[in-house]
């Protein structure tokens, strides 16, 4: 690749390289690279330091400067070629919304017709068989024992959404308090002991102790959004959003036929917009649920990053899997080796006479630390003491 730089635009006959560079930085920023004022200045400084007749040098320099993760590294060349070497211009100039971390919200927000999927999901929930159980009930207490699929009144829904998010917040608060109470020091803090001893002529009368820093739990939620779960997925998305907002360290994934990381989308301030982004992510899925394959994706691509010894993995699914049960069992076993706990929430347990007969579910059971219902708020709240004990 010995191509030279594309010529400067003719309407700026004396346009210095910096003008071209600024244009490039703007393009890079629009494409989700982290470009701030400092990066701009450094890029100019860099341009002065390299031999501009050899575009490779500029490429290497800018690549080191502008990239900040592997994904950036991989897509840098295309953007560079498009701008500086006028190659494949059309493709790269398209702003890639899904990978763009910084520009993403701006770019997606304006797009029309994207709210289709959340609307559909909402309708599903609203059109759910509204059996008499929740008729007229509007107090939080009744709501908390009502199966999610029996809720259909918009007011009730709004209340349950709020409760769900608050529940997630409370879980976090409880966990933190527990951690603090455990903070009784066991190791002598020599530094402070000596400080205190100065007043008594060097005799350590008052001892200072050091507390072991407790680390909060890290929650990783993996949510099934397949057709069979559609009555519940909106609620759990709300719940996950509450979790993401309140836990310092939480990650959320959804799967259907494949696994998608949705934490960035959930962090969107406006929940409607978050749903919008998610509908983009999940658009056009069809076919059966592939729990095993989705977990394999998780184990291969994300586990190393998001799991540590303090992680609790929460899988929310009804266990109806069209893949091989052995695959599911194998992946769960791998998962369990990495995480502190693997819990599986199944909304169907709440149904009367439910037995985990789904083949996938049977295969999964031996690899779970907890298999619990999650069909109403009460059952979600019951998780809290379990998590607090960990």
Partner 1 sequence: MEPSRDDLHRGFTEAGYIASSELIMAISLMRRLARPLLIEGDAGVGKTEVAKTLAVALDRPLIRLQCYEGLDANAAVYEWNYQRQLLAIKIWETEQVSAAEKERHVFEEAFLLRRPLLEAISQDVPPVLLIDEVDRADEEFEAYLLEVLSDFQITIPELGTITAKSIPYVILTSNGTRELSDALRRRCLYHYVEYPSEDKEMRIVAARVPDMEPALAAQVVRFVQAIRREDLEKKPGIAETLDWARALVGHDIADLEAEPELVRDTLLCLLKTRADSAAVSREVVERILGKAV
CB of 187 to partner 1, least distance (A): 11
* Of 343, 295, 340, 265, nearest in space to 104 by CA: 265
Kindly write out the interface string for residues 32-61 of this chain, putting x where it contacts partner 1 by CB under 8 A and - elsewhere: --x-x--x--x--xx--xx-----xx--xx
Helix, strand, coil percentages, rounded to 5, for the chain: 55, 10, 35
CB of 126 to partner 1, least distance (A): 37
Please report, for residues 54, 204, 249, the alpha-carbon distance to residue 60 in angstroms, rounded to integers and kept in the order given.
11, 59, 34
Residue among 63, 75, 196, 341 that touches partner 1 (CB under 8 A): 63
CB of 155 to partner 1, least distance (A): 39
Sign of CA dihedral 265, 175, 342, 338: positive
Distance CA 10, CA 168 (A): 59
Instruction: Report CA dihedral (345, 346, 349, 354) to the nearest 10 degrees.
Output: -140
Which residues touch 94 (CB under 8 Å, ≥6 apart)? Answer: none
Piece of the chain touching partner 1 by CB under 8 A; list 107-115, 167-175, 275-283, 302-310: 302-310
Which residues touch 3 (CB under 8 Å, ≥6 apart)? Answer: 55, 85
- End-to-end, the C-alpha distance of the chain in Å comes to 57
Q: Which is nearer to partner 1, 109 or 199 (CB)?
A: 199
Asked if 23 interacts with partner 1 (CB under 8 A), we say no
Q: Residue 234: how many CA atoms within 13 Å on its side-chain side?
A: 25
Kindly write out the interface string for residues 212-231 of this chain, putting x where it contacts partner 1 by CB under 8 A and - elsewhere: -x-x----------------
Asked if 308 interacts with partner 1 (CB under 8 A), we say yes
Distance CA 76, CA 63 (A): 7
CB of 301 to partner 1, least distance (A): 10
Q: Which is nearer to partner 1, 311 or 346 (CB)?
A: 311
Piece of the chain touching partner 1 by CB under 8 A; list 16-24, 62-70, 219-227, 282-290: 62-70
Which residues touch 292 (CB under 8 Å, ≥6 apart)? Answer: 321, 323, 324, 325, 327, 328, 330, 331, 360
Asked if 69 interacts with partner 1 (CB under 8 A), we say yes
Where are the alpha helices (H) located in 198-260, listed in sequence order? 230-246
Task: Return the residues of window 177-206 that contact partner 1 according to CB under 8 A.
Answer: 190-191, 194, 197-199, 201-202
Q: Which is nearer to partner 1, 224 or 251 (CB)?
A: 251
Q: What are the DSSP E strand ranges found in the chain?
A: 187-188, 209-210, 218-224, 250-255, 259-261, 311-316, 341-346, 370-373
Q: Which is nearer to partner 1, 158 or 190 (CB)?
A: 190
CB of 254 to partner 1, least distance (A): 19
Count of positions on this chain that bind partner 1 (CB under 8 A)? 36
Q: Which is nearer to partner 1, 31 or 234 (CB)?
A: 31
Asked if 94 interacts with partner 1 (CB under 8 A), we say no
CB of 194 to partner 1, least distance (A): 6
Sign of CA dihedral 143, 144, 146, 151: positive
Run of H or E residues at 133: none
Asked if 266 interacts with partner 1 (CB under 8 A), we say no
Distance CA 100, CA 209 (A): 47
Q: Using CB under 8 A, list all residues that contact partner 1.
A: 34, 36, 39, 42, 45-46, 49-50, 56-57, 60-61, 63-65, 67-70, 72-73, 101, 190-191, 194, 197-199, 201-202, 213, 215, 304-306, 308
């Amino acid at each position: 690749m010995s191509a030279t730089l594309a010529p400067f635009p003719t309407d700026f006959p004396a346009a210095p390289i910096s003008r071209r560079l600024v244009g490039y930085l703007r393009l890079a920023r629009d494409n989700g690279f982290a470009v701030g004022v400092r990066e701009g200045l450094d890029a100019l400084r860099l341009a002065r330091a390299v031999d501009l007749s050899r575009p490779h040098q500029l490429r290497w320099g800018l690549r080191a400067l502008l990239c900040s993760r592997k994904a950036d590294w991989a897509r840098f060349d295309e953007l560079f070629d498009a701008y500086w070497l006028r190659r494949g211009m059309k493709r790269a100039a398209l702003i890639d919304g899904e990978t763009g971390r910084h520009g993403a919200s701006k770019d997606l927000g304006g797009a029309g017709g994207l709210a289709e999927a959340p609307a559909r999901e909402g309708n599903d929930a609203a059109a759910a068989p509204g059996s008499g159980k929740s008729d007229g009930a509007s107090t939080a207490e009744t709501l908390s024992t009502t199966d999610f699929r029996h809720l259909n009144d918009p007011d009730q829904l709004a209340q349950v959404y709020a409760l769900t998010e608050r529940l997630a917040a409370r879980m976090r608060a409880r966990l933190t308090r527990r951690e603090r109470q455990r903070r009784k020091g066991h190791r002598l803090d020599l530094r402070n002991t000596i400080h205190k001893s100065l007043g008594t002529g060097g005799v350590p009368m008052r001892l200072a102790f050091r507390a072991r820093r407790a680390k909060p739990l890290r929650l990783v939620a993996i949510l099934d959004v397949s057709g069979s779960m559609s009555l519940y997925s909106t609620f759990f998305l709300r719940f996950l959003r509450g979790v993401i907002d309140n836990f310092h360290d939480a990650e959320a994934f959804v799967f259907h036929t494949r696994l998608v990381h949705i934490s960035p989308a959930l962090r969107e301030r406006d929940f409607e917009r978050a749903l919008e982004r998610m509908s983009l992510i999940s658009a056009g899925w069809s076919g059966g649920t592939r729990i095993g394959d989705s977990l394999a994706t998780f184990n291969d691509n994300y586990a190393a990053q998001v799991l540590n010894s303090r992680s609790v993995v929460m899988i929310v699914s009804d266990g109806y899997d069209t893949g091989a049960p052995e695959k599911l069992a194998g992946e769960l076993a791998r998962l369990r080796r990495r995480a502190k706990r693997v819990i599986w929430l199944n909304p169907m347990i709440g149904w009367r006479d439910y037995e985990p007969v789904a083949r996938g579910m049977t295969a999964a059971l031996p690899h779970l630390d907890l298999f619990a219902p999650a069909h109403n708020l009460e059952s979600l709240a019951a998780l809290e003491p379990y998590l607090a004990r960990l």
